């Protein structure tokens, strides 16, 4: 369910998250209204506002911890795409000193890889179906082309070595990109956020027992704050998947158009 939600458009995510948070507050408010008619009501009325502080602090720390990781992953995602494109660009530039047959074969394989990323690799990653077991078309062949070449001059030997390193950089960047696409906020972590949210809402309702309007307003305000934080986490949580904020292979497309 959460994976499906995070793959939706930002507007859909905002609507569902806010609706859920307000619904949770409404259910708790109604539940407290029912409890107010029971013998346990007198015990709930002695709840002090001091209980809100530790609960809110714990919830804030959890959200801050997850936000730090999510924003870090977003920055890394953009860096990995640039690193992948830089490796391809470096291999193409270095190959200019190699013999024409080797140079043309290498560039053809790199073009095959760009086509593979655009048509197969990236769409599969957006669907959450990509994995490291899938062989990246073009890169193994590019390495084979380079390693099978026998340099005749010191400059060619140096160019061959640097081109191999550049292709290996592309492989490594792709590996990190795919691993990052699988790094998401887990279901238990989302559950902790909503459990703490429910506890804070319950405490707000009991603190304002007998004042339903005041309780409703305060619970609505807190639900709005929590929903806003959850939306921010969700739209940034999967930078290499569809939905929310998605990192595009712009740097790779620029290479393909050259």
pLDDT in tens, 77-109: 999 999 999 999 999 999 888 888 889 999 999
Q: Does 238 reside within a domain?
A: yes
> Average pLDDT of the chain?
87
* Domain membership of residue 79 as a residue range: 2-221+232-256
Q: Does 214 reside within a domain?
A: yes
- Count of the separate structural domains present in the chain: 1
For the ranges 8-22, 86-100, 132-146, which has the lowest average pLDDT? Answer: 132-146
DSSP state of 137: T
Residues 210 and 204: beta-carbon distance below 8 Å: no
Evaluate if residue 130 carries a pLDDT over 80: no
Rounded average pLDDT over 1-16: 83
Selection from 71, 110, 68 nearest residue 89 by Cα:
110
Written as six digits, the tokens of 176 are: 């990190």
Q: Does 157 reside within a domain?
A: yes
Q: Does 226 reside within a domain?
A: no
- Global pTM exceeds 0.85: no
Q: Does 89 reside within a domain?
A: yes
Q: Does 70 reside within a domain?
A: yes
What is the per-residue pLDDT for 46? 60
CA 98/CA 165 separation, integer angstroms? 15
Tell me the pLDDT tens digit for each residue of 33-67. 887 776 666 666 666 678 888 999 999 999 999 99
Higher pLDDT among residues 218 and 45, named by residue: 218
Q: Does 227 reside within a domain?
A: no
Q: Does 27 reside within a domain?
A: yes
Angle, alpha carbons 5-201-236 (nearest 5°): 30
What is the per-residue pLDDT for 251? 84
What is the per-residue pLDDT for 165? 94
Q: What is the CA radius of gyration of the chain?
A: 27
Task: Give Cβ neighbours of residue 83 (< 8 Å, ≥ 6 apart).
Answer: 169, 173, 176
Higher pLDDT among residues 146 and 130, named by residue: 146
Ramachandran area for residue 199 (φ above 0: left; ψ -120 to 50: alpha; else beta): alpha
What is the per-residue pLDDT for 222? 95
Higher pLDDT among residues 37 and 137, named by residue: 137
């Amino acid at each position: 369910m959460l994976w499906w939600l995070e793959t939706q458009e930002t507007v859909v995510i905002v609507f569902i998250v806010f609706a859920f948070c307000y619904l949770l507050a409404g259910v708790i408010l109604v539940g407290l209204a029912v409890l107010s008619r029971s013998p346990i009501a007198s015990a709930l009325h002695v709840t002090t506002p001091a209980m809100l502080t530790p609960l809110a602090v714990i919830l804030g720390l959890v959200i801050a911890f997850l936000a730090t990781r999510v924003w870090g992953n977003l920055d890394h995602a953009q860096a990995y795409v640039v690193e992948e494109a830089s490796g391809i660009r470096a291999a193409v530039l270095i190959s200019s000193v190699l013999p024409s047959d080797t140079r043309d074969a290498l560039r053809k394989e790199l073009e095959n890889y760009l086509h593979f990323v655009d048509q197969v690799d990236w769409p599969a990653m957006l669907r959450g179906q990509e994995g490291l077991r899938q062989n990246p078309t073009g890169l193994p062949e590019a390495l084979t082309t380079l390693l099978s070449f026998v340099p005749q001059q010191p400059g060619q030997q140096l160019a061959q070595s640097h081109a191999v390193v550049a292709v290996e950089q592309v492989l490594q960047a792709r590996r990190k990109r795919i691993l990052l696409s699988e790094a998401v906020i887990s279901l238990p972590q989302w559950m902790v956020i909503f459990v703490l949210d429910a506890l804070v809402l319950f405490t707000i309702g009991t603190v304002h027992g007998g004042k339903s309007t005041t309780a409703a307003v305060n619970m609505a305000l807190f639900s709005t704050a929590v929903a806003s934080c959850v939306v921010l986490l969700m739209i940034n949580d999967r930078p290499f998947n569809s939905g929310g904020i998605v990192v595009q292979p712009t740097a790779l497309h620029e290479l393909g158009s050259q």
